[in-house]
A and B are shown apart, each in its own frame.
Chain A
Amino acid sequence: MSDIKIDQILDLKGVPCPMNFVKTKLKLESMQAGKILEVLLDDGEPIKNVTASTKEEGHEILKVEEKNGYWNLIVRKSR
């Protein structure tokens, strides 16, 4: 999708749960509200858990899409 402007990218392929969420959370904390983060995550538990936990923290999930064996999670930072 060309209309989403990604501000930061975090490659967490190979990072197990829950450290992948911890890193996502810390990255989002360091960003300004409204900025957009793209997170690269493994298939299975990682994409499931990180998406759910990020949503639970109140951030907006813009897109979840599979790409060549891994996943792209695109999040807009809230607050």
Chain B
Amino acid sequence: MSLKEDQIERYSRQIILPRVGGKGQEKLLGGKVLIIGAGGLGSPCALYLASAGIGTIGIVDSDKVELNNLQRQIVHDTNTVGVAKVESAKQRLNAINPDVKVKALNMRLTSKNITDVIKEYDIVVDGSDNFPTRYLVNDACVLEKKPLSHGGIFRFDGQAITILPGKSACYRCLFPEPPPPGFVPSCQEAGILGAVAGAIGVIQANEVLKYILNIGDLLAGKLLVFNALDSSFRQVKVPKDPKCPICGEKPTVTKLIDYEQFCSIKKKKEE
């Protein structure tokens, strides 16, 4: 693969970078990234990855764009309210960069389908908004040895960690089991500042770019914690837990689990 004239122009400011260059750009164009959730985290992440020229971006989401999403889900816009999020995201990403092949996966991930979905990608970005998906994604990536960038946001706080299965701590090393239903305020109840989602989603994009370029140090074994109110970032060391239920010495989780979708179940009962 050699860069075309318009690609040299488009990516000139990153080709100039030491340790990127034309060879790095070719790695990015050959890169395959799966983004789970076209929401608050997935939006900024997808925008930066598409702009950087990641050749293949898969996006998974089963929702449609709602007006209340636009405060933070910046890949969508007023004109795509009501459209499937993955289609809305695909339109925007293609408009930014036609070099990118966007795979719009309008589906809900389950223990049955996730392994096939993640298989063809180099790295997975978790931008999901619920615990069942978060654990499912972690477990599937650990079992398939697929690198994973985790991001989480809550009100004015955000966190990110990169998981290199077998080498660094996974999400269950941090939090072995999901919280009981109702213990943590659900997606709609808690509220979120859009810029917090932006900050963490962009950190995740940066992790992906470094992973594909094979430069710098990843947030592997290090949880990055951001607080928007005091504008602080800190890193907390997270060692691999030998007692981790999935990546420890004697794993108790050996197959994928579909945890109860407490968010949606609660909503259905209310209706």
* A26 at interface by CB-CB < 8 Å: yes
Please report the C-alpha to C-alpha distance between residue A21 and residue B15 in the assembled complex, in whole angstroms.
Answer: 10
Kindly report which residue of chain A lies nearest to residue B2, judged by CB atoms.
A30
Check B12–A57 contact: CB distance below 8 A.
no
Check A22–B18 contact: CB distance below 8 A.
no
Please report the C-alpha to C-alpha distance between residue A53 and residue B15 in the assembled complex, in whole angstroms.
Answer: 13
* B250 at interface by CB-CB < 8 Å: no
* B22 at interface by CB-CB < 8 Å: yes
Residues on the B chain within 8 Å of A23, using CB: 8
Residues on the A chain within 8 Å of B15, using CB: 22, 25-26
Q: Which residues of chain B in 19-55 are interfacial with respect to chain A, using CB atoms and an 8 Å cutoff?
A: 21-23
Kindly report which residue of chain A lies nearest to residue B14, judged by CB atoms.
A22
Question: Counting chain B CB atoms within 10 Å of each CB, which of A18, A19, A25, A56 scores highest?
Answer: A25
Q: Which residues of chain A in 11-32 are interfacial with respect to chain B, using CB atoms and an 8 Å cutoff?
A: 18-19, 21-23, 25-26, 29-30
Residues on the A chain within 8 Å of B23, using CB: 29
Residues on the A chain within 8 Å of B18, using CB: 56-57
Please report the C-alpha to C-alpha distance between residue A19 and residue B12 in the assembled complex, in whole angstroms.
Answer: 7
Chain A: interface residue total (CB-CB under 8 A): 12
* B3 at interface by CB-CB < 8 Å: yes
Please report the C-alpha to C-alpha distance between residue A53 and residue B12 in the assembled complex, in whole angstroms.
Answer: 14
* B189 at interface by CB-CB < 8 Å: no
Q: Which residues of chain A in 21-73 are interfacial with respect to chain B, using CB atoms and an 8 Å cutoff?
A: 21-23, 25-26, 29-30, 53, 56-57
**10 further contact pairs, Cβ within 8 A, besides A22-B12, A26-B8:** A18-B13, A18-B16, A21-B16, A22-B15, A23-B8, A25-B21, A26-B15, A26-B22, A56-B18, A57-B18
Chain A residues with CB under 8 Å of chain B are 18-19, 21-23, 25-26, 29-30, 53, 56-57
- Can you list 5 pairs linking A and B with CB atoms under 8 Å apart? A22-B16, A26-B3, A29-B21, A30-B22, A56-B18
9 A-B pairs with least C-beta separation: A26-B22, A22-B12, A29-B22, A22-B15, A29-B21, A22-B16, A18-B16, A29-B23, A19-B12
